[in-house]
Amino acid sequence: MASRFQAVALVASPSYPNSIAWSDDNFIAVASAHLVTILNPAVPYGPRGLIRVPTCEPYPIGRVNREDLFTNCLLPAALSRDRRPCVRSISWSPIGMAPNYGCLLAVCTVEGRVKIYRPPFCDFSAEWVEVVDISDRLYDYLTKINFGELDNTPSEFSHGQPIIQGFAEEQPKSCAIDLPNSGTLKQYKRRKVNVTTYNIKDPETFQDQLSNPINRGSTTAGSDNENKIDRRGTTKVIGNCKLPLITAEKYASRCAMLSSLVIAWSPVLWLPSKICSAPENDSSNGFSILAVGGKSGKISVWRINVPQYYSIELSRAPTTVTFVGLLQAHNSWVTTISLALLGSESNPQVLLASGSSDGSVRIWIGKGEELLEPSGANNAPFSLLKEVVSVNVVPISVLSLAIPVQTMHKMLLAVGKGSGSFEVWTADISNSIFDKAGLYDAHDCVVTGLAWAFDGCCLYSCGQENYVRAWVMHGSALCEVSIPSNIPGLRSSNDIPNVFVSCLGVAASPGNIALAMVRNVDGDSLDPMYEGRLQKAVVELLWIGGQQKDILSSSSSDFASEAFLDFSANELNYWESDILWYLTKYENLDNPLVVWDIVAALLAFKQSAPKFTDHILVKWLSVTFLGSYTGLSIGEVLTCIPENFSKITSRQLHLLNIICRRVILSDVKAEEINCKVNVGGPAAAKAEHLTLWIELLFSSEKELRERLVGFSLATFINSLSDSTTKISRPGYWYPVGVEQMELWIALNHDCVRDQLKVLASEVRKHKRRLQSSEYGVEEQCIYCSESVTFDSPEVAHCQCSNSTDKTFQIHQMARCAVSMQVCPAIPLWFCKCCCRRASKLPPETLFTLPGYPLDFKSLTESSVKDIPTKPLCPFCGIPLQRSQPDFLLSPSPV
């Protein structure tokens, strides 16, 4: 039995599959009843984000005659009464889609409404902020094309007759994927709702009641009784309203087109500049696809562009959303969607897998350049690759699509069904070869969650009957294995119950070291006065780093031949291979540097087995920085690494700095490390080789600072000969703080490379240009008017004299981590690893350097004007963010 290392309670119960999602920037979102709760897995008991789903008014799509109320297509809408809001589906966007470089969250409700939200990074609120209403945009488009109906004859209007205006959030009771909340009916019975009761046995009486709905209830003085309606039902009556008279079939069809069921994002597609035209509305040539499946069997395709620039001050930064087209994917409800990125950078493609309530599963492909142009109704730029599952009586509940990194044209697709079984399909997209790996009767009830992990080597499944299972790919088939039960470090003690009735979703962490799941609590086993009120569901976090699998099976550990701390030798081998594999994976620049799960696992082992942690780090350092693992001691490895820094990529240096600060020096404050004040102290005597780790960190950060300074000075020199260079283009970098950088080189003249000295001497030749305001000169204190001298790249001080008592007050200010200038009194970018602040963003080129450049000037002369910025820390490489108070939610990339 798997053991959780963290658990947190929720105040509402989830009701639908895939109710939990883990974002690229390390947030966990849970859809439960009318709420979406956003958690930080690093501090699950800390502050939370919140999205409240309101009840929405139906769209005015037309009216029908009274005699059409009891037709088969309108009867569910006429009988439906429950208008309580509830979240049906959630999906995170890739990182970098939000204005602050975070992730956007798309939410779909049972009313069929889809909205996109962003984090409240500048609003000082727990409530997430709505960005765009996708359903409103879809309604505007459908009304513009008359819902795609061929009959465009003038509509009839009726004056003074009541009309039926409905919203199709009803669903057939026989659909196996619609999981009723066990506590919903009880709550609904306890709640007194003023809902009008109709006599549906007698059609004439029913029509009379609809004609005079107000006479049966109390009214207030001065109210317009003829137009009053009860908006809590799915059917409402409006008098004296001019809407087109349509047939019952058209009304039901329009409702189905507007009723969304499921949403999913694609990874970001970056198109070459020659394919993607000039960006509009502050957007770039990168975009993500949002697919929205509905009851009509159609999937609406939306293109959301990556922002051209990022900000932590603009609360109303625009988000470019473009409607691409409608794809007729199935003939019944689209119940699940999954997307993946396929192909190379020059020819990116999107794979879209869709499942339906009619039991069919289809795989579609769309080319990146075709997604740039709107295609209209029933003509989305996706072509059918394969129908892997044909129409049958078992509906599809969940899909999970994965493209392994090692084989970019291989596809893995897991298909969860309402019967409790799931299928696994493999495919070679380049040759259009599809193979069924097997059908597995994994669960007794609906499959509610599927998640691939470890680059497609493992699959985790959960069902409504509360079972969670792990599967490993052996050749072309799956084999069930147990989820690791041993936990590194100490378990968190809490009073969270351990009695559950269902599991409604699983999600893997960005590093695939942890697994999150959400479970509904058995309310009958709790005290209804206390626990039963506040503990409706529980989010559990499990370690899966020691999962048994075939990946890297040849790299057996030479650390331990016998078990310790309840860990077997095989489990230690699995942990070692997982951590090493993912540290290597993060050397790929396409993967955002969000390594909280790996850092948390290393810290947990550091507490219980410090020698095992040292063994893993020594092996990683030897392979990454020395070329191979030769069995050197940790002291020898740490001593030899700085000699090879010039050949090391910037991403590898960033990983090294994160490990040093968050794992080795986790007990030392970041500010003390930055200022080199009391570094080590008493801890130096406790931790072996701690001094060598500190010196390694300082050498690594000095290497990165030299690259930043050299790149800035070379760009400044090259820009002097280019009169067309603009320094105020948003989203693009230009050198700032050149004089401060020249002073830093002078302070460190004996330990910097000769190339920087030559660049500094060339900068001094342009002293008059250097003293212009655009590049910064004499600095002043932000608290007083005294001048500030440059004596450190981290902090600045001034001495403000008091004329009355002749005393001095020293003001300390932070310097920008990018420009070394004194940070102004405005909201600043903040790094959660090194705790540095930045008022300017660094150039993207800094993070892609394969080593120390041999010639900075030749590197920058061809792209002086077109260097984009990147909201990443220049010393740690993790996403920057706006520093939030302790009572507000913020992401933890490390």
One-letter-per-residue 3-state SS of 97-121: CCCCCCCCEEEEECCCCEEEEECCC
Q: What is the pLDDT of residue 474?
A: 85
User: pLDDT tens-digit profile of 250-272?
Assistant: 999 999 999 999 999 999 998 87
Sequence letter at residue 394: V
CA distance linking residue 343 with residue 188, whole number of Å: 50
Q: What is the pLDDT of residue 243?
A: 85
Q: What is the pLDDT of residue 857?
A: 86
Q: What is the pLDDT of residue 331?
A: 95
User: pLDDT tens-digit profile of 289-315?
Assistant: 999 999 999 999 999 999 988 999 876
Rounded to an integer, the average pLDDT of 237-256 is 79
Residue 176 pLDDT > 50 = no
CA distance linking residue 805 with residue 828, whole number of Å: 35
Q: What is the pLDDT of residue 276?
A: 57
> Which of 374, 349, 304 lies closest to 117, judged by CA?
304
140's tokens:
């505007």
CA distance linking residue 494 with residue 4, whole number of Å: 11
User: pLDDT tens-digit profile of 777-816?
Assistant: 578 888 887 888 888 999 998 876 554 555 667 888 999 9
Query: Out of 61-70, 210-219, 303-312, which region has the weakest mean confidence (pLDDT)?
Result: 210-219
698's tokens:
């300082």
The reply to whether the predicted model has a pTM over 0.75 is: yes
User: pLDDT tens-digit profile of 688-742?
Assistant: 678 999 999 999 999 999 999 999 999 988 888 766 655 567 888 988 899 899 9
> Is residue 561 very low, low, confident or very high in pLDDT (cuts 50, 70, 90)?
very low
Residue 754 pLDDT > 80 = yes
Q: What is the pLDDT of residue 767?
A: 67
Measured CA distances, 488 to 446, 574, 607 (Å): 33, 13, 8
Task: Specify the higher pLDDT residue, 274 or 470.
Answer: 470
Q: What is the pLDDT of residue 80?
A: 73
Q: What is the pLDDT of residue 567?
A: 78
Neighbouring CB atoms inside 10 A of 206's CB total 17
Residue recorded with tokens 């000039």: 278
CA distance linking residue 149 with residue 253, whole number of Å: 10
696's tokens:
């390694």
Note whether 520 and 14 are within 8 A (CB).
yes
* HEC sequence for 327-392: EECCCCCEEEEEEEEEECCCCEEEEEEEEECCCCEEEEEEECHHHHCCCECCCCCCEEEEEEECCC
Q: What is the pLDDT of residue 384?
A: 94
> Is residue 681 very low, low, confident or very high in pLDDT (cuts 50, 70, 90)?
low
Q: What does pLDDT average to over the chain? A: 82
Cα angle 520, 19, 352; round to 5: 150
Residue 9 pLDDT > 80 = yes
Q: In which region does residue 456 sit, left (phi positive, over 0), alpha (psi from -120 to 50) or beta (all else)?
A: left
> Is residue 766 very low, low, confident or very high in pLDDT (cuts 50, 70, 90)?
confident
Q: What is the pLDDT of residue 569?
A: 81
Query: Out of 58-72, 520-534, 637-651, 746-760, which region has the weakest mean confidence (pLDDT)?
Result: 520-534
292's tokens:
């929205």
For the four alpha carbons of 220, 223, 228 and 233, in that order, the dihedral sign comes to negative
Measured CA distances, 648 to 420, 486, 828 (Å): 50, 36, 30
CA distance linking residue 250 with residue 408, whole number of Å: 44
CA distance linking residue 684 with residue 670, whole number of Å: 16
CA distance linking residue 732 with residue 734, whole number of Å: 7
For the four alpha carbons of 341, 343, 349 and 355, in that order, the dihedral sign comes to negative
Rounded to an integer, the average pLDDT of 108-131 is 93
Residue 220 pLDDT > 50 = no
What percentage of the chain exceeds 90 in pLDDT? 53
Neighbouring CB atoms inside 10 A of 200's CB total 14
* HEC sequence for 33-63: CCEEEEECCCCCCCCCEEEECCCCCCCCCCE
H or E element that contains 89: strand 87-92
**What domains appear along the chain, each with residue ranges and CATH number?**
12-55+81-149+254-450 (2.130.10.10), 569-700 (no CATH), 725-882 (no CATH)
Note whether 426 and 483 are within 8 A (CB).
no
* HEC sequence for 386-439: EEEECCCCCCEEEEEEECCCCCCCEEEEEEEECCCCEEEEEEECCCCEEEEEEE
Beta strand 383-389 with 361-367 is: antiparallel
Q: What is the dihedral of CA 645, 646, 652, 655, to 10 degrees?
A: 50
Rounded to an integer, the average pLDDT of 83-88 is 88
> Which of 25, 199, 190, 3 lies closest to 104, judged by CA?
25
Q: What is the pLDDT of residue 476?
A: 81
User: pLDDT tens-digit profile of 165-175?
Assistant: 333 333 333 33
> Is residue 202 very low, low, confident or very high in pLDDT (cuts 50, 70, 90)?
very low
Note whether 539 and 505 are within 8 A (CB).
no
Q: What is the pLDDT of residue 167?
A: 32
In eight-state DSSP terms, residue 660 is: I
Residue 373 pLDDT > 90 = no
Q: What is the pLDDT of residue 211?
A: 34
Q: Return all residues near 262 (Cβ < 8 A) that are at least 6 apart.
A: 88, 89, 108, 292, 293, 334, 335, 336, 337
User: pLDDT tens-digit profile of 567-594?
Assistant: 778 888 889 999 999 999 898 888 999 9
Residue 753 pLDDT > 60 = yes
CA distance linking residue 674 with residue 815, whole number of Å: 11
Rounded to an integer, the average pLDDT of 616-633 is 91
Residue 838 pLDDT > 50 = yes
Residue 188 pLDDT > 90 = no
Rounded to an integer, the average pLDDT of 230-236 is 37
Q: What is the pLDDT of residue 201?
A: 37
Cα of 130 vs its chain's centroid, Å: 16
Query: Out of 88-97, 189-198, 338-347, 430-439, which region has the weakest mean confidence (pLDDT)?
Result: 189-198
Note whether 321 and 134 are within 8 A (CB).
yes
Using a 10 angstrom Cβ sphere, with 0-12 exposed, 13-18 middle and 19 or more buried, the burial of residue 201 is exposed
User: pLDDT tens-digit profile of 480-514?
Assistant: 999 888 888 766 656 787 889 999 999 999 999 99
Residue 123 pLDDT > 90 = no
CA distance linking residue 858 with residue 76, whole number of Å: 70
